[in-house]
């Protein structure tokens, strides 16, 4: 997967197709993971971002290759959108040799530093302070890099969120916080857990930030708003806090059927999901539907081939469990 960078601007039509292609690849990838999970091929949980692809793809599309992004256990889409190799990501999920974290991270910690994706963290809110540190370093080094930090709606109620946004605003750091408001924190609707209207946007003014809200299922709208925030941050304009409305099409994790959600709500969400909408937008802008069908077929084949290859790969060498604790490569704590 490639990411469209600012200096690599295409015509809008091309760009919209690329965004669709990226979202579609991620959708098929996540669906495959869901199936593999249910077949018992995965060890450990899988938190899928099905339905939330437009945020990852739209945001990544406005970043420079050397920009930083960082996210949560629901982070597969974010890694792939930055260009992490899908085969290595899937190998990590399936516990195969060549896994992007060597089998030591698994589904919740997918990371691809080489592609600017500085990790997926599974303690809710914990990576916001870390993201602030990435942005602080860019400011000190004057590199012009921007950090995007993705987190869920549930994370706004934990202390680390407030400490991090406060510090970023105080130091005017080049960082864009993107709250993926999928309406639920695990099994509880976020509306039942906040005394304000919106989890992130309603908190923005406490840090002197503008309340920014975007339709997180509209990939172009995401790219536009996040792009403007990124440009501003890069120019020294300080942080932004964006709330992107979306919906988790499946349960909290692959093990959760999501039965606590009203059926009508899920049905309604299915009509608003980002792929349907981007496809309709492409067709109404004149894209030949046959081209889209060819694209969709190609991606379906690619993802199933990918899964076959990874499933056939060997398991990791048990001896590698002792590596990667220290920078010298080892794990010795005593002589």
Partner 1 sequence: MAELTYRNAVLAALAQEMERDERVVLLGEDITSGGVFKTTVGLVDRFGAHRVWDTPISEQAIVGAAMGAAMAGLRPVAEVMFSDFYAVCWDQVVNEIAKTRYMTGGQVTLPLVLRGANGFGSLGFGSQHGQSVENWAMCVPGLKIASPATPVEMVGLLAAAIRDEDPVLVFEHKALYGVKQPAPEGEQFIPLGQARVAREGTDVTLVGLSITVGMCERAAAVLADTGISAEVIDLRTLVPLDAQAVLGSVGKTGRLVVVEENPGQLGWGAAIAALAAEEAFDDLRAPVIRVSGGNVPWPVARELEAVVDVSPERIAWAVQTLMKHAAAPPRQH
332, burial (CB in 10 Å: exposed 0-12, middle 13-18, buried 19+): exposed
Site string for partner 1, 72-101 (x = CB under 8 A): ---------------------------xxx
Stretch touching partner 1 by CB under 8 A, among 71-79, 134-142, 191-199, 206-214: 134-142
Is 152 an interacting residue with respect to Mg ion (CB under 5 A)? yes
Q: Which is nearer to partner 1, 140 or 259 (CB)?
A: 140
Is 106 an interacting residue with respect to ligand TPP (CB under 6 A)? no
Dihedral pair phi/psi, residue 27, rounded to 5°: -60, -50
Among 7, 39, 40, 159, binds partner 1 (CB under 8 A): 159
Q: How many CA atoms lie within 13 A of 331 on its CB side?
A: 7
Among 35, 170, 276, 280, binds partner 1 (CB under 8 A): 170
From ligand TPP, partner 1, Mg ion, none, interface partner of 234 (C-beta below 5 to 8 A by class): none
* Residue 119: its H or E element: strand 117-121
Q: Least distance from C-beta 152 to ligand TPP, angstroms?
A: 2
Alpha-helical (H) ranges within 183-287 are: 201-204, 219-234, 263-271, 274-284
Q: Which is nearer to ligand TPP, 50 or 101 (CB)?
A: 50
Q: For residues 145 and 162, what is the distance between their CA atoms, to the nearest angstrom?
A: 23
Stretch touching Mg ion by CB under 5 A, among 9-17, 130-138, 144-152, 292-300: 144-152
Is 167 an interacting residue with respect to partner 1 (CB under 8 A)? yes
Q: For residues 216 and 49, what is the distance between their CA atoms, to the nearest angstrom?
A: 12
Report residue 218 as tokens: 């509209």
From ligand TPP, Mg ion, partner 1, none, interface partner of 155 (C-beta below 5 to 8 A by class): ligand TPP
Q: For residues 230 and 55, what is the distance between their CA atoms, to the nearest angstrom?
A: 14
User: Could you tell me which residues come within 8 angstroms of residue 65 by beta carbon, excluding any fewer than 6 positions away?
Assistant: 3, 5, 83, 115, 116
Is 72 an interacting residue with respect to Mg ion (CB under 5 A)? no
Q: Which is nearer to ligand TPP, 122 or 311 (CB)?
A: 122
Is 105 an interacting residue with respect to partner 1 (CB under 8 A)? yes
Residue corresponding to tokens 């077929």: 297
The three-point CA angle 288-273-119 to 5° equals 105
Is 314 an interacting residue with respect to partner 1 (CB under 8 A)? no
| Exposure string over 43-55, b if 16+ CB within 10 A, otherwise e | eebbbbbbbbbbb
Is 3 an interacting residue with respect to ligand TPP (CB under 6 A)? no
Residues that bind Mg ion (CB under 5 A): 152-153, 182, 184-185
Residues that bind partner 1 (CB under 8 A): 68, 99-105, 109, 111-114, 118-119, 121, 123, 126-138, 140-141, 159-160, 163-164, 166-167, 170-171, 323-329, 331-335
């Amino acid at each position: 997967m490639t990411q469209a960078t600012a200096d690599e601007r295409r015509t809008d039509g091309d760009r919209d197709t690329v965004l669709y292609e990226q979202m579609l690849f991620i959708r098929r990838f996540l669906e495959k993971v869901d199936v593999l999970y249910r077949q018992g091929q995965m060890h450990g949980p899988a938190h899928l971002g099905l339905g939330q692809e437009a945020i990852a793809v739209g945001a990544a599309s406005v970043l420079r290759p050397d920009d930083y992004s960082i996210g949560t256990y629901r982070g597969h889409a974010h890694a792939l959108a930055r260009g992490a190799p899908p085969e290595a990501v899937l190998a990590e999920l399936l516990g195969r040799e060549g896994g992007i974290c060597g089998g030591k991270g698994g589904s919740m910690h997918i990371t691809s530093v080489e592609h600017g994706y500085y990790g997926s963290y599974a303690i809710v809110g914990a990576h916001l302070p870390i993201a602030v540190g990435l942005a602080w370093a860019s400011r000190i080094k004057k590199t012009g890099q921007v950090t995007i930090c993705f987190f869920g709606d549930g994370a706004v109620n934990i202390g680390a969120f407030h400490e991090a946004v406060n510090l970023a605003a105080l130091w005017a750091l080049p960082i864009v916080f993107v709250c993926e408001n999928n309406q639920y924190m695990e099994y509880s609707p976020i509306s039942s857990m906040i005394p304000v209207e919106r989890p992130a946007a309603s908190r923005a003014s406490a840090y002197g930030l503008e309340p920014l809200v975007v339709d997180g299922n509209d990939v172009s709208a995401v790219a536009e708003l996040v792009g403007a925030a990124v440009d501003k941050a890069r120019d020294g304009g300080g942080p932004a806090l964006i709330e992107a409305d979306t919906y988790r099409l499946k349960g909290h994790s692959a093990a959760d059927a999501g039965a606590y959600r009203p059926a009508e709500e899920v049905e309604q969400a299915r009509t608003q999901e980002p792929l349907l909408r981007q496809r309709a937008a492409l067709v109404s802008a004149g894209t030949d539907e046959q081209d889209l069908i060819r694209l969709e077929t190609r991606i379906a084949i690619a993802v199933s081939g990918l899964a076959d290859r990874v499933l056939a790969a060997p398991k990791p060498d048990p001896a590698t469990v002792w590596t990667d604790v220290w920078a010298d490569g080892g794990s010795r704590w005593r002589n």
